[in-house]
Amino acid sequence: MNYTFSSGMSSLKPSVIREILKNSGNTIPLSAGNPAPDAFPVDEVREIAARVLRDEPILALQYGVTEGYAPLIEELIKLAHERYGVGGDDDSLIVVSGAQQTMNLMSQIFINNGDTVITEEPAFIGALNCFRGFGAKLSGVPLEADGMDIGILEEKLKTEKNVRFIYTIPNFQNPAGITTSLEKRKQIYELAEKYGVIILEDNPYGDLRVSGESVPSIKSFDKAGIVVYSGSFSKIISPGMRVGFTLAPKEIISKMTVAKQTQDVHTTMLTQLIVYEWLKEGRIDAHVKKICDIYRRKLNLMCDNMDLLLSDYLTYNRPEGGLFVWAKLNEGINMLDYVKRASANGVSAVPGNAFLVDMSSPCDHIRLNFSTPSDEGIVEGINLLAKTAKEMKG
């Protein structure tokens, strides 16, 4: 039979990164985005899981409510307020099955086929593909070293039709590694308010700061009820558990709850309970400090080696946190050729066009990840990238 797929989905292809990873075989995975395995609180999770299944097995195995386990919601509201400075009386919170679900719920409740989503460019491919799957027209605002180009953002807000929301990762953006400055965060908020557009503030990496000072989130300015804040435990505890949260104005959370009910009914109870106990026991500060030490070491190891071996071939800004380094190849090195040749040489990187609104646009950037490979893998990977660059420059 010939299947006729929905218009949003018919053109959507699997993530480019995913396909690269499938074919990257035994290469050193600088193309990945997994948290470092030694950053998982394995002993704590093991102990808590055993306790939960001993003390509350029926709670862990029975249906839960769509909003999430009520004591976890309370704990998250407290965390959001105290740790991230977000959430007021007009906000509410829902537990989601990883932050990707926040992207999906936002798409389902807001996007009609043909509506516009304004996004940073480059941007996280998982979010872009999600918006595309609902038939959104993506409109990209170039990222500068301190966040979106504000002039272009305003131009887009003025001219684009049916703009449903602005998508941004203000901390250690994926892929660009950029942190949006406080001034630009305020400008983005003011423009959104002026044009009556919602902001989807995605903060999966905010805790992974290895240098510099933290910057208040856009949601912390939100008096007008226009900011949806997406939080995640994937980079703090574990991505395999699929637990995140959305904090947003009550009416939006209420609509997301209806959508989530039709999507997966509720998030896995066992992992909700694990996150709840872990938070309640006050483990987050010590653990985040520990994993920031790991990521600081790995980030600096990668960047120091890049400075040593790659400075003739590419430029980049050292990020203050997150998982990624975004590097611009010098003129004369064709990006796609470089990525292919690097892969043949045994190291994989993500071609930057994967993160563009129009993936067929030319792009001279690659994304490198330092959390997945071992320390030895980072050193060897940068060596192989330098070898590849040397080969291509003759």
**Choice from 24, 27, 92, 100 touching its own copies (CB under 8 A):** 100
Considering only CA atoms, which of 323, 36, 315 is closest in space to residue 173?
323
Min dist. Cβ of residue 215 to its own copies (A): 24
Q: Which is nearer to its own copies, 45 or 191 (CB)?
A: 45
255-274: which residues touch its own copies (CB under 8 A)?
255, 257-259, 261-271
Min dist. Cβ of residue 261 to its own copies (A): 6
**Choice from 28, 103, 153, 166 touching its own copies (CB under 8 A):** 103
**Choice from 16, 71, 83, 129 touching its own copies (CB under 8 A):** 129
Q: Applying CB under 8 A, which part among 14-22, 138-146, 302-310, 326-334 lies near its own copies?
A: 14-22
**Choice from 101, 119, 230, 305 touching its own copies (CB under 8 A):** 101
Min dist. Cβ of residue 64 to its own copies (A): 6
Q: How far is CA 251 from the centre of its chain?
A: 24
Min dist. Cβ of residue 37 to its own copies (A): 5
132-191: which residues touch its own copies (CB under 8 A)?
133-134
Considering only CA atoms, which of 226, 127, 142, 224 is closest in space to residue 184?
142
Encoded one letter per residue, x for contact with its own copies by CB under 8 A and - for no contact, window 57-96 reads xxxxxxxx-x------------------------------
Rounded Cα–Cα distance for residues 105 and 110 (Å): 8
Q: Applying CB under 8 A, which part among 56-64, 139-147, 180-188, 294-302 lies near its own copies?
A: 56-64
Q: Is 25 in the site for its own copies (CB under 8 A)?
A: no
192, 164 Cβ separation under 8 angstroms: no
Q: How far is CA 44 from CA 36, 273, 277, in A?
A: 16, 13, 10
Q: Applying CB under 8 A, which part among 29-37, 76-84, 312-320, 336-344 lies near its own copies?
A: 29-37
Q: Which is nearer to its own copies, 22 or 82 (CB)?
A: 22
187-246: which residues touch its own copies (CB under 8 A)?
196, 198, 224-226, 234, 237-242
Q: Applying CB under 8 A, which part among 123-131, 139-147, 183-191, 296-304 lies near its own copies?
A: 123-131
Min dist. Cβ of residue 32 to its own copies (A): 9
Q: Is 387 in the site for its own copies (CB under 8 A)?
A: no
Min dist. Cβ of residue 46 to its own copies (A): 4
Min dist. Cβ of residue 226 to its own copies (A): 6
Q: Is 110 in the site for its own copies (CB under 8 A)?
A: yes
Q: Which residues contact 270 (CB under 8 A, 6 or more apart)?
A: 49, 52, 53, 60, 61
Q: Is 42 in the site for its own copies (CB under 8 A)?
A: yes
**Choice from 53, 150, 152, 182 touching its own copies (CB under 8 A):** 53
# of chain residues touching its own copies (CB under 8 A): 80
Min dist. Cβ of residue 184 to its own copies (A): 22
